[in-house]
Amino acid sequence: MTAPSPTAAASPGPAPSLSGTVELRTGEGWLAVCPAGALLPGRGVAALLPDGRQAALFRDRAGRLYAIGNVDPFTGAGVLCHGLLGSVQSRAYVASPLLKQRFDLADGHCLDDDTVAVESYPIRVAPATP
């Protein structure tokens, strides 16, 4: 058995645990969405915003949080929260579960059609209050 090469990339460990409340910035200010622990690495959740729009929230395996619109502009279905996370050229994306278009998680732009985008939202974790 040989030891791993010192130049071999280490596999990432588990995402750091989060505590507090995940909040999205909307036109009305910061909106509490869910406990930070509810966002599992590699999975998305949907949130209904006060104005009736939907947001999809994601936590990648490195622990970074993202929020984009949940409605797939190609089908009109609220499904982006169910998409698969990936990355290309250091850009994190979610692939729609329906037609597989990829949306940049940082800014909502479609990586497969430059004329299409979904909204992106600032996101943060607010500390838990005692």
pLDDT tens readout for residues 42-90: 999 999 999 999 999 999 988 999 999 999 999 999 999 999 999 999 8
Please give the DSSP secondary-structure letter assigned to residue 3.
P
Percentage with pLDDT > 90 across the chain: 78
Do residues 43 and 80 touch, judged by C-beta distance below 8 A?
no
Would you call 52 exposed, middle or buried from its count of C-beta atoms within 10 A (0-12, 13-18, 19+)? exposed
Condensed to tens digits (0 to 9), the pLDDT of residues 101-124 reads 999 999 999 999 999 999 999 999
pLDDT in the model for residue 79: 98
Mean pLDDT of 21-39: 94
pLDDT at 3 over 60: no
Residue 38 has pLDDT above 70, yes or no: yes
Say which amino acid occupies 74: F
C-alpha distances (whole Å) from 5 to each of 11, 27, 46 are: 13, 51, 42
More confident residue, 67 or 10: 67
- The pLDDT of residue 11 is above 80: no
Q: Kindly list the distances between the CA atom of residue 66 and the CA atoms of 2, 9, 11, 46, in Å, as whole numbers in the listed order.
A: 40, 25, 22, 12
